[in-house]
Structure 1
Amino acid sequence: MSIFTKKGSEAVAAATAEKDGKGSALVSFPSGTTIKVRVKSVEDSAEYYAYSVFKKVNTFVPKEPALRNAKGYITANPTVWDRAADHFYGLAKQAKEAGDEATAKEHSDQAYLFKGKPRYVMGFGSLETGEDIVVDLSAKQAKTVNAAIQKYAKKLDKVAFELSKSGSSTDTTVTLTPILDMDEDLTDAERANFVKCGEKPFDFALFEDCLYVADETEQIKNLVVAGFDIGLLGLTLGAGAPSSGGEITDEDMPQF
């Protein structure tokens, strides 16, 4: 089972629509960074569902992800984190039915912490190296980037772009801006790499090595790290120190 729920045109549509691990190709993209890139096509992206708790559990994807329908709702095979979210959503529903809106909101907020949230990996050609690179974006960021790609879709073979990130925490934004004067604003090497990047399509296989994947045992350990009582789900934890997974990014905070 693939960790990605959508690829290509489906991922683009999901990133632009309104919604009800580290590999060699994944580049560091902190706030304040600008990368000169070639957009190879309008479909070089993949959607996945990420789990984390800010400053407690770093971002991971389940080794056996839940099955989801086209709208992202779980239809089968929920992970232990999905079950933890459902536990709090159940408590929120009970509180709401009892007329206790404050407690309902508290439990709903707790549920959100454990809920899987859509993110996107997007592929580009690097004008620095001439090779394929991957950046990891939140749903909001991917929507903005895809809008720019669609705007210039007919000129992708003629125009290079600057991919930039600015801000911090939930105010982080990502922009994709065309470089209109490539003779003036690109070096000879960057222009040569623009041509090189256009010689072959993006390699989708690169996506598979870009995310931190956690099996169920590690997911249970991470629930403990996050402060969830796993006994509520009928789970126990054997010997072994809890682990918190992969790299924290400035997009791990709730904002979807």
Structure 2
Amino acid sequence: MSLFTKKGAEAVTSAQATKEEKVSAHVKFNAGTTLKVRFLSTTDSVEYFAHGLYSPTVPTFAPKVTPERNARGYVTSNPSVWDRAADLLYADAKAESDAKKAEELRRQAGNLKSKPRYLVGFVNLENGEQGFVDLTKKQADGIFAALAKYAKKLDKVAFELSKTGASTNTVVSLTPILDMDEDLTDKERENFVKVAGQPFDFEKFEGFVTMLDEAEQTKNLVIAGFDIARLGLSIGAASNASSTQSDESTPIEDGDEPEMTF
């Protein structure tokens, strides 16, 4: 098979063709941000499990080989490198007789353990486009509770979606805009009306989450300060670790760490 995919006039045409670039619908949502949005329903969201650290910084990622989980969220097979490392630290904590040392080991394990995150979709009234934000479980819980409260008024009420605080102490809030004539611009009101009846396009979530293979996860585990030799790993070497995981590791509730993506 030839290396060359096009030749002659076809090659020239291909080089001059305008390439269609996919624009992410993800809306940056740093602390201090307030978005004016319309929710098309109370359920325009997806859940995924991911790893990541605030300090040292390891941006949020999910493993390329997705672990299998039971209904309670426990990994039952194909655990990620980070989940296997967390299991070792949980075992260390269980064997540790010193209460303070055991607590520190559990904290370290919780930092490495995969946690649920949620992509929540809406219409950004600034431009009338569908978009989404990436939230921790605690942040998403608050948003979903507010949406449930106003479920019957979504066709009449816009919201301010805000993030306040700093570092790991961020808070996400959802506040209804009760006086839309006063608090929305003409363009924002126009966009609110324009999207009435639209379903949210779940395809917009695709491609957002950074997926890492085992080698890339291992490099990040070194950054996190874990001794990868305990897993039989080294940079550039394949793993000989087991691909199963027990239910002994309790899922750790997430904090309010800011989202971190590549």
TM-score category of the 2 structures, normalised to the smaller one:
0.7 to 0.9
Matches within 5 A, 1:30-179: 30-56=30-56, 57-95=58-96, 99-179=97-177
TM-score (ref. length: structure 1): 0.81
- 3-state secondary structure, aligned to 2:161: strand
Deviation at 1:250, TM superposition (A): 4.7
Deviation at 1:113, TM superposition (A): 1.7
- 3-state secondary structure, aligned to 2:206: helix
- What amino acid is the match of 1:179? I
Does the CA-based 8 Å contact 2:30-2:258 persist in structure 1? no
Deviation at 1:124, TM superposition (A): 0.4
- Distance in 1 (alpha carbons) for counterparts of 2:36 and 2:46: 21
- 3-state secondary structure, aligned to 1:161: strand
Does the CA-based 8 Å contact 1:23-1:209 persist in structure 2? no
- Distance in 2 (alpha carbons) for counterparts of 1:102 and 1:184: 55
Deviation at 1:189, TM superposition (A): 0.9
- Distance in 2 (alpha carbons) for counterparts of 1:178 and 1:103: 46
- Distance in 2 (alpha carbons) for counterparts of 1:184 and 1:226: 49
Instruction: Work out the number of aligned pairs and report it.
Output: 220
- Distance in 2 (alpha carbons) for counterparts of 1:171 and 1:223: 24
- 3-state secondary structure, aligned to 2:90: helix
Deviation at 1:103, TM superposition (A): 2.2
- With 224-233 and 32-41 compared, the bigger mean Cα shift is at 224-233
- Distance in 2 (alpha carbons) for counterparts of 1:252 and 1:129: 23
Does the CA-based 8 Å contact 1:23-1:211 persist in structure 2? no
Q: Residue by residue, what CA displacement relative to the aligned partner does 1:90-125 show, whole Å, maximum 9, x if unpaired?
A: 111111xxx322221121112112111111110000
- With 134-143 and 58-67 compared, the bigger mean Cα shift is at 58-67
Q: Answer with 1 or 2: which has the greater Rg.
A: 2
Instruction: Please list every run of at least 4 consecutive aligned residues from structure 1 whose deviation after the TM superposition is greater than 6 angstroms.
Output: none
- Distance in 1 (alpha carbons) for counterparts of 2:234 and 2:183: 59
- 3-state secondary structure, aligned to 2:144: helix
Deviation at 1:23, TM superposition (A): 6.4
Does the CA-based 8 Å contact 2:40-2:197 persist in structure 1? no
- What amino acid is the match of 1:42? T
- Distance in 1 (alpha carbons) for counterparts of 2:28 and 2:156: 26
Does the CA-based 8 Å contact 2:120-2:132 persist in structure 1? yes
- Distance in 2 (alpha carbons) for counterparts of 1:53 and 1:137: 14
- Distance in 2 (alpha carbons) for counterparts of 1:92 and 1:219: 23
TM-score (ref. length: structure 2): 0.79
Deviation at 1:237, TM superposition (A): 1.6
Larger helix fraction of residues: 1
Deviation at 1:236, TM superposition (A): 2.2
Q: Does 1:231 align with 2:229?
A: yes
RMSD: 1.9
Distance 1:252 1:33, change over 3 A: closer
